[in-house]
Structure 1
C-alpha cells in the first residue's frame, strides 16, 4: 500500500506526528521533496525529536527510511542530524537509511547565496523570509543542470565528473565574485569536500527507485512523507512566497523514485488553528488581533522546527483549507492540536473572505490575498482538558461540535483528532488506515 502524508495549509500542520503513527505499521517511510528548510517534531518515550531531513520513520527500528529523488540534501546538515539522534539511542545505518543516487546535493555555496540575496532584498524591504539554508539555490541549480547529484560522489575519480565540477565551479565563481563580490572558491577545496562526503555517505547511496519498486510490487506498506503544505507548493501555492519544490501528493511517487506507481491513500493534515512561518499573505493573523494571537502562540508552542522563529498564527481558515484539500486530493484527514484550544471560552473560525466589502467566492492564489478581510464565526469552547480522552465519545460535546463544524465547512470527514503531543494522545472518528 502506498500512502502519502501531506500538509493542507502553509506547513507545520503536525505531519511528523501522523507519519510517526503510520510508521508503526509501515515497512518504508520516504521523503519525496524539499530539504532541511523545515522540520517535523515527534514526541516519543525518548523525548522530543526535531527532524529536518531524516524521515519521521527513523524513530522506528524496523522501518527503512529513504531520502528520495526529488529532494535537495545538505550533507553536512544530514551528518549532524544523524549524529544527534544516534547520541540519543536511535540507530542510523545503511540498513535503515537509503539515499537516492538521483537526489540533488545542496552545495556549500547555496547557503552563501541564499544569505547574500536575502540580505540584499531585506535592504529593499522585499525579503522572502527564507530560512537561509540554500534550498531555492539548490533547486535553481538543479534545473540549470549546474550541480551534482548524490550518485556523482561515487564517481569522483572519473574524468566526466571532474569536468562537471570544473564547469560548475567556474559558473558559480562568476556569480558570487561578480554579483556579490565574494572571494573565489578553489577547485581543490571543492574536490576535497566532495571526497569527504563520499567517504561518509557512499554506503547509504543507492538506486532507491529500484528498492521502492521491488517493495511496492511485493506488497510492502510505504509511507511517502511531505514537507510543508499546499500553500507552499511552487506551482499551486502563494507564489512567490512558496518553497522551491512540489509539496503536493500528486508529486509523491515521482519525487520518491517510483513515478509509475499510484497512491492508494492521501492523508491530509490540518491543524486545529492556522499557523505560518515566513513571509507572504496570511489572512488568519488579522482575524482576532495580536494579543489573541500571542496567547494562542504560547499555548501551542508555535515556533518553527527548523528555525525556531515564532510562527504567525490565527483561527482555523476554512477558505484556505478548502483550496488546500482540493490541491492535495486527500481521502483521509488528520486534525492536530485540538487540545491547544481547550482553554478558550469561544473559538473563532474563518468561514469566508471579503475584499472591499464584497464576499470572495474562493481562495485564489493570483488574487490580492494581502487585502482579504476574514469573516469570523464564533463557536463555544469546552474549557476543559481533553488530553485524557481515549475515544471520540469521550470528548466534550463542544469539542465534537467544533470538529463537526469544520467537517461541514470543508465537506470532508475528519477521521483522526490529536488531543496531545504524545504518541498515544489521539482519538479516531470514522475509518482510519
Structure 2
C-alpha cells in the first residue's frame, strides 16, 4: 500500500477538494503539511457541502485521523471558528480525530494587521502581491526569524510572556516605522490565553505519531494548499505564497521522511486559472476567458475572488511534474471545455525572439514571454458525468492524450463533473 501526496500542478484552485475527498475516504490518516487558512476547498458528501480551509479533509469522515503538520501556520481563532462551524453541520472534531503538531507556528492578530498594512502600501506603489491579508506571510517570517509563538507555548504560561516580549521587540519596531501604535505584551497574551484551552487538547508530537502509523501499515494521505507555481522557491516569485507547496514539503512539513512518500498525484485543471497578481502567459481577456470563468464557476472557496482564466499551459505543468516528481495527474474540469470548437495548448514560449520550453525564474523575463500554441479541435458532445473512456467524445480523448504527451506524466484520474462519482479511474494511487 502506498502513501500518497496530493499537490496542485498549477496556481492552485485545480479542484483538489473532490479528488482529496475521494482519496481520504480510503485513507486512514490525512495530513495537511503547509500553508494556512488562505486557501481551501469544498467537499460535497451526500449532498452536503463542507468548506475547509485549515482542517484536513479527513475530519468530515468517521474513523479517519486528521493531522495538521508542523509546516502549517495556524490562526488559532480561525481554527476554532472552523471547528465550531462544522459542529453546526453535525461533524464532531475532537482529540480523537484531529491532532496538531506541537511545533506548528501560530498566526496572531499582529500578523494579519501587518499583512494588510503592507498590501495597502504596495497598492499605492504598484508592487502589490495580492495576498489574502490573513497573516500567512508575516507568520512564516517570524518562524524563520526564530521568534514565533508555537502551539506548545500555549501550555506554559510562565514562559509565554518572555516569548511574546521578544516577538514584539521586532513587530513594534516595524509598527513604529509604519506609523502604527505599538502593541502591549498583555494584548497578545490575552489573545492567546483566550484560545489556549480550545487548542491544547489537539497537541501532538506529529512526527512520532506518523512514524507509528506508517509502521502499522496505515494509508497516509498528504494534502497541500495552493499550487506548485505558488511555491516560494519554484513559483512565479514574488507573486507566490509564503511556503513551499511542492511535494517535497510533505516530508519536511510533517516529519515523515521522504522515503515514505510513495505516490505524488498532481491535481491539474484542463485549462488554467490564477487568482491575484503575477504573470499568466495564457490568460484570456476575451469571451473565451469569460466563458471558462462562468462555466467553471471560477471563484475562490475562501476569498470569493474571481479567478483569471486561460488555455492549458503544458509548459508550466511539465515544469511542475519535474519539480514534484509527479507519478500521475488527476485531470479536472474537462467538462468545462464542452462545446468549444477549438482548443489551444501552450507548448512553450518565445522570449526576446528565442523559443524556450519552460517559464524562466526572472520576474522581468516572465512578463516578456509569449505563449506558443498548438491548436486542437474541440468537441460538441458533453463529457459531463462520463465514468469510462467509452463515454467520452473522441476529440476529448485526443485532448487528454496530447496533454499526457506534453507534460510527461499519465492521467491517473479524470474528473468529468463536481460529483465525486463522475470520475474515470485509470490508476489507483494507493495501490500503485
Q: Determine the C-alpha separation between the residues in 2 that align with 1:305 and 1:70.
A: 22
Aligned counterpart for 2:368 among listed residues 355, 368, 371: 371
How far apart in 1 are the matches of 2:263 and 2:295?
Answer: 32
- Seen in structure 2, the aligned counterparts of structure 1 residues 163 and 248 have a Cα distance that, compared at 3 Å, is same
1:118 Cα deviation after fit: 0.5
Corresponding residue to 1:343 among 339, 346, 359? 339
2:207 to 200, 206, 209: 209
Matches of 1:284 and 1:43, distance apart in 2: 31
Paired residues of 1:107 and 1:147 also in contact (CA < 8 A): no
Q: Which residue of 1 aligns with 2:320?
A: 324
Cα displacement string for residues 350-381 of structure 1 (whole angstroms, at most 9, x for unaligned residues): 12211244322332223611111112222222
398-407 or 338-347: bigger deviation = 338-347
On the 8 A contact 2:315/2:357 being kept in 1, the answer is no
Aligned to 1:82: 83
C-alpha deviation, 1:432, in angstroms? 4.5
Task: Report the number of matched residues.
Answer: 428
* Equivalent residues in 2 for 1:92-131, closer than 5 Å: 92-131=93-132
Residue of structure 2 aligned with 1:399, choices 388, 396, 400: 396
Distance 1:409 1:187, change over 3 A: same
Question: In structure 1, what is the Cα distance between the partners aligned to 2:388 and 2:177?
Answer: 60
Q: Does 1:68 align with 2:56?
A: no
Q: CA deviation at 1:44?
A: 2.1
Once the two structures are superposed, what CA deviation does each residue of 1:215-261 show, in whole Å capped at 9, x if it has no partner? 01111000011111111111111111111111111121220122465
- Tell me: CA distance 1:388–1:165, structure 2 relative to 1, closer, same or farther (3 Å): closer
Give the Å deviation of 1:128.
0.6
Q: How does 1:29-428 map to 2 (within 5 A)?
A: 29-156=30-157, 158=158, 160-176=159-175, 178-259=176-257, 261-285=259-283, 288-366=284-362, 368-428=365-425
SS of 1:313's equivalent in the other structure is strand
Residue 430 of structure 1 deviates from its aligned partner by: 4.6
Structure 2 distance, partners of 1:54, 1:431, is: 24
- TM-score (norm. length: structure 2): 0.96
Report if aligned partners of 1:355, 1:372 keep a CA contact under 8 Å in 2: yes
1:94: Cα distance to partner? 1.2
SS in 2 for 1:42: strand
- How many angstroms apart in 2 are the aligned matches of 1:430 and 1:254? 27
Do the aligned residues in 1 keep the contact of 2:263 with 2:429 (CA within 8 Å)? no
Residue segments in structure 1 that go unaligned for 5+ positions in a row: none
TM-score computed with the length of structure 1 as normaliser = 0.95
